[in-house]
Amino acid sequence: MKKIKPLLFLSIPIIVLAVYNIYSYDKFWEISVSTVITASIAIYISYYFTQNRLDQRKAQDSLEKVLSKLETEISRTPIRAMTSETEKSQILLGIRRINNKIFVLKKYQELFGIVEDVKWIHQRFKDYEEFVGDHIDDMDYLSKSQSELIRPLERIDDRIDTIRIKLYT
């Protein structure tokens, strides 16, 4: 109701003005073809650009959500709180979640002009993944390498911030 009130407030004088003109001005409906064409083109162009920008904004917001989810996955990766008792399944699931987010970024990287950033993230995560994969059955070794493993994740996190800024500038 709050949104409708100002709309009514604006539309009532316009309708009154239109009705007044129809009755007081004889040639109200007589309009040249060129005026119709000009008005139609103006309406079409303004609609096209508004809609286009709206679609672009929606796509940017969706990508922003993917970036936020990727950040969340990186921050809660089991590697951060790893002990020799950590389950292999937890590590594998964590890697899968991050990989899936990177996969989405790769799919739309060209659309948003972030090819180099995604390539960089992909490569850093690939190195991380290979290191973890090579020692997946040695939780003791992985827990001792925790600080080494967190470093590439922190760098990926920083790069996500760069992408986010790029999206809106």
Partner 1 sequence: MKFCIAKDYTKTPGGRFIKEGSFSGEDFRKKHLSPLYLKAKNEEEKLEINFDGGYGYATSFLEEAFGGLVRELKDPSVLEHLSFISEEEPGIIEKVIEYIEDATKEI
Q: Which residue's structure tokens are 């090819």?
A: 115
State the number of binding residues for partner 1 (CB under 8 A): 21
Helix, strand, coil share (%) of the chain residues, nearest 5? 85, 0, 15
How far from each other are the two terminal CA atoms of the chain, in whole angstroms? 35
Given 69, 124, 135, 159, the residue binding partner 1 (CB under 8 A): 135
Comparison of 36 and 81: residue with beta carbon closer to partner 1: 81
Q: Are 77 and 94 in contact (CB under 8 A)?
A: yes
Comparison of 57 and 144: residue with beta carbon closer to partner 1: 144
**Contact letters (x/-) for partner 1, 88-127, by CB under 8 A?**
xx--xx-xx--xx-xx--x-------------------x-
Given 136, 157, 164, 167, the residue binding partner 1 (CB under 8 A): 136
Distance between CA atoms of 111 and 73, rounded to whole angstroms?
24
Q: How far is the CB of 102 from partner 1 (least distance, A)?
A: 7
Of 120, 41, 34, 135, the C-alpha closest to 79 is 135
Comparison of 126 and 166: residue with beta carbon closer to partner 1: 126
Comparison of 66 and 95: residue with beta carbon closer to partner 1: 95
Distance between CA atoms of 40 and 19, rounded to whole angstroms?
22
Residues forming the site for partner 1 (CB under 8 A) = 88-89, 92-93, 95-96, 99-100, 102-103, 106, 126, 129-130, 132-138
